[in-house]
Structure 1
């Protein structure tokens, strides 16, 4: 009987160890999803499908990887803010074009959409180190352009894109005017326990309990909770309370960490917002919230010497968003 129990325990232990080994070996495939199941890696359509004038941009990251991006201008002489948009995990930038179309209309801005390495038409394979280099290449490209106001570049990231954007913004305090985060996680370490509950005993950071003995083997931890506390620029947090992927608590923790040292943080909740559709379910209130944030923190040059008309837009719970 004892030998049977021992054999059972050894068998279960072996399965657990083998499972952990597979998770470690194939973790990038779990973290990054360039291709949505059932779809192709290529773009299903381009901005021209939505009648958006655009430019195909090809970049080289500092490690030589060839990257693709779309630069979409509202109109040829637009000097409004330029949004450097970092997408969610699954799929490619074409899947975000409907949201970008409305963004252009509502905010009167330009939008630069980067395909991370391994995504869309970009070469290479995704990793935290590599995508960080890709983001820097995109920002450097924007600062080299002469057809935009480089003092009004705003980083906008959703989910994984928020983690990417936070790192880029922290590293470039003189090149990024403001940061917008939507439904972003505190870290991949915390998300591991959300997506695979049994992992919460082995991997975690801010929201997990347990031994966390596997933290050191995670190659893409994306510790946004640590990075956000070092961002100096104004930050707008947009949180969908029905987010089925990233628990809304993550956004609350990110705001709390940032607000301890940054007085230019704003946190806004959208009661019906889910992970991918907060921009849609939030309706006019969502876009007016972003518009007010940009008007205050990324104003037109002619408004620099005028007093702010949005004094109530200065902290959590103080924003009087239109209904």
Structure 2
């Protein structure tokens, strides 16, 4: 007869094994959610609904996948930055148009919104290797345009988009002028540990020196913690302290890692900011933070804040 303790150990082990098996088998469906429950895959609105001047852009990733994007023009046209925006996980770029509309008004910039493969009107199925190709195709498109200042291309990524943006900035130090991360995670495995706490015993933690025991089983690890320390461009970290999905500690860990080798990092938190509404709860301070960051880090331009070159003096 097995003792009670043995049964307990076997039971816990079985639950953990089952949890890991489900995580491994269905990881893409957990990481990528191109379609919100109950809604169609198509765009519910286009920029035209908001009376924005835009172009439908069709791109080819390096593996041949056809991608869709919107290039939204600043009106009236003016010299300034172009923001390459990478969205969060769920839904498509149309669900971010309200945010982009306000960005255009507040920052006076152009914006390229990319639909990852499998999202919106883009073909294919999402994966980490594929989305990295998609992001590169979007950046290459911007670099080839003649109607923008290609020395002022900034990458903005929220949540999953921050992980995408970090890889792109690391791989393109001479094409990306700066990176803005909002409510981004350290890695997918760390997020698995948040959603399924018992897995922390098996996966370790990206912010520590413990090995990731399951890393070799994860097809989309998105190890932002590893990428962030290799980025040389200026980085702005925007952290909502009430984030209910990604623990705010992830953003602090990313900042600490980046600041080890990069003197141009700034961390700004928003006390009432949640995962999806930091831009709303942050109000004017949120947009002023980004505007000052863009102004300060335009190549060849000495940006100032109230007579000072220190961006922190604005807060």
Q: Same fold by TM (over 0.5)?
A: yes
Superposed, which structure 2 residues align to 1:92-107 within 5 Å?
Answer: 92-107=92-107
For residue 6 of structure 1, report the CA deviation from its aligned partner. 6.9
Distance in 1 between residues matched to 2:246 and 2:27, nearest whole Å: 18
Conserved 8 A contact 1:201-1:211:
no
Conserved 8 A contact 1:163-1:224:
yes
Gaps of at least 5 residues in structure 1 are none
Alpha carbons of structure 1 residues 308 and 51: separation in structure 2 relative to 1, 3 Å: closer
Question: Per the alignment, in what secondary structure is the counterpart of residue 228 of structure 2?
Answer: helix
Gaps of at least 5 residues in structure 2 are none
Distance in 2 between residues matched to 1:8 and 1:108, nearest whole Å: 61
Instruction: State the superposition RMSD in angstroms.
Output: 2.2
Matched, 1:112 2:107: no
Distance in 1 between residues matched to 2:127 and 2:187, nearest whole Å: 15
Q: How many residues get paired?
A: 314
Alpha carbons of structure 1 residues 314 and 32: separation in structure 2 relative to 1, 3 Å: farther
Distance in 1 between residues matched to 2:210 and 2:199, nearest whole Å: 9
For residue 3 of structure 1, report the CA deviation from its aligned partner. 8.8
The residue number in structure 2 matching 1:30 is 30
The residue number in structure 2 matching 1:162 is 162
Alpha carbons of structure 1 residues 243 and 313: separation in structure 2 relative to 1, 3 Å: farther
Superposed, which structure 2 residues align to 1:1-323 within 5 Å?
Answer: 1-2=1-2, 13-14=13-14, 16-75=16-75, 77-207=77-207, 212-298=212-298, 304=301, 307-310=302-305, 312=308, 314=310, 318-321=312-315
Question: Per the alignment, in what secondary structure is the counterpart of residue 45 of structure 1?
Answer: coil
What TM-score comes out, normalization by structure 2 length?
Answer: 0.93
Distance in 2 between residues matched to 1:141 and 1:211, nearest whole Å: 38
Distance in 2 between residues matched to 1:223 and 1:60, nearest whole Å: 25
What TM-score comes out, normalization by structure 1 length?
Answer: 0.91
Runs of 4+ displaced beyond 6 Å: 3-9, 208-211
